[in-house]
């Protein structure tokens, strides 16, 4: 099953670490977790805090133990197709979290949600369109499904951003079905 996942982090530095994670399964089930920093995690950027609005004090007070969150992720997400809109960043933070919990850093792997969006549009549209028309139709559906105007930032909260990717995946299916003439898969 597809799972749309997003992290928020302490900064964008090499020493950054995950502070929030959320995921949304393709069937709509969802979870969100604030992550209490591991003892060695001390990187913090006030500019990043201004973007996501999560304070370090909030993490220390209300965050869940980093190892507990990592084990929950492995338990719930193993065997699923994990998607992230920024897989290089999210993959870095996933790796930091797994290593800190003494779990294999490749226990979970991410791929780009854009790939899943493109695959969904292609699978639906290829039922009725010729190869000549397919590429442009896929591009149009992807453009029409953009959740925000150009330059508009994401929410920068893990659940909102993961839910936005899930909603886009749903919209792509609806737009592609309409474009394909409503022929169900």
Pairing mode, if any, of strands 18-25 and 2-9?
antiparallel
Give the integer Cα–Cα distance in Å for 185 and 23. 26
DSSP 8-state code for residue 37: P
What pLDDT does 182 receive?
A: 58
Distance CA 117, CA 170 (A): 9
Instruction: Quote the pLDDT of residue 185.
Output: 45
Tell me how far apart the alpha carbons of residues 88 and 12 are, in angstroms, rounded to a whole number. Answer: 12
Q: Output the tens digit of pLDDT for each of the chain's 185 residues.
A: 999 999 999 999 999 999 999 999 999 999 999 999 999 999 999 999 999 999 999 999 999 999 999 999 999 999 999 999 999 999 999 999 999 999 998 899 999 999 999 999 999 999 988 888 898 999 999 998 888 776 777 789 999 999 999 999 999 999 999 988 855 44
What CA–CA distance (Å, rounded) separates 91 from 87?
A: 5
Instruction: Report how far residue 65's alpha carbon sits from residue 18's, in angstroms, rounded to the nearest whole number.
Output: 12
- Identify the helix (H) or strand (E) that includes residue 84: strand 81-84
Q: What is the DSSP letter of 89?
A: H
- Residue 163's H or E segment, with its range, is helix 158-179
Give which of 112, 169, 176, 115 is closest to 141, Cα–Cα. 176
- CA distance linking residue 1 with residue 23, whole number of Å: 12
Tokens of 41: 């995690």
* Dihedral angle over CA of 46, 50, 54, 59, nearest 10: 0
Domain extent listing, the chain: 2-112, 113-179
Which tokens belong to 94?
Answer: 């996933």
- The per-residue pLDDT for 14 is 95
To 5 degrees, how large is the angle CA 137–CA 87–CA 136? Answer: 10
Q: Which CATH superfamily is domain 2-112 in?
A: Ribonuclease H-like superfamily/Ribonuclease H (3.30.420.10)
Judged on CB neighbours under 10 Å (0-12, 13-18, 19+), 47 is exposed
């Amino acid at each position: 099953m597809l799972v749309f996942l997003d992290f928020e982090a302490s900064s964008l530095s090499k020493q950054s670490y995950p502070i929030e994670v959320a995921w949304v399964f393709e069937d709509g089930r969802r979870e969100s977790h604030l992550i209490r920093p591991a003892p060695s995690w001390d990187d913090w950027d006030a500019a990043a805090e201004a973007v996501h609005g999560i304070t370090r004090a909030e993490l220390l007070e209300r965050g869940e133990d980093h190892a507990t969150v990592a084990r929950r992720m492995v338990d719930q997400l193993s065997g699923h197709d994990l998607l992230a809109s920024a897989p290089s960043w999210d993959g870095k933070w996933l790796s930091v979290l797994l290593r800190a919990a003494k779990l294999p850093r490749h226990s979970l792997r991410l791929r780009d949600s854009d790939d899943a969006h493109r695959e969904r549009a292609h699978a639906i549209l290829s039922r009725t369109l010729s190869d000549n028309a397919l590429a442009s139709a896929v591009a149009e559906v992807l453009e029409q499904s953009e959740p925000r105007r150009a330059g508009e930032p994401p929410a920068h909260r893990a659940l909102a951003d993961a839910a936005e990717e899930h909603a886009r995946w749903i919209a792509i299916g609806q737009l592609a079905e309409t474009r394909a003439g409503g022929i169900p898969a």
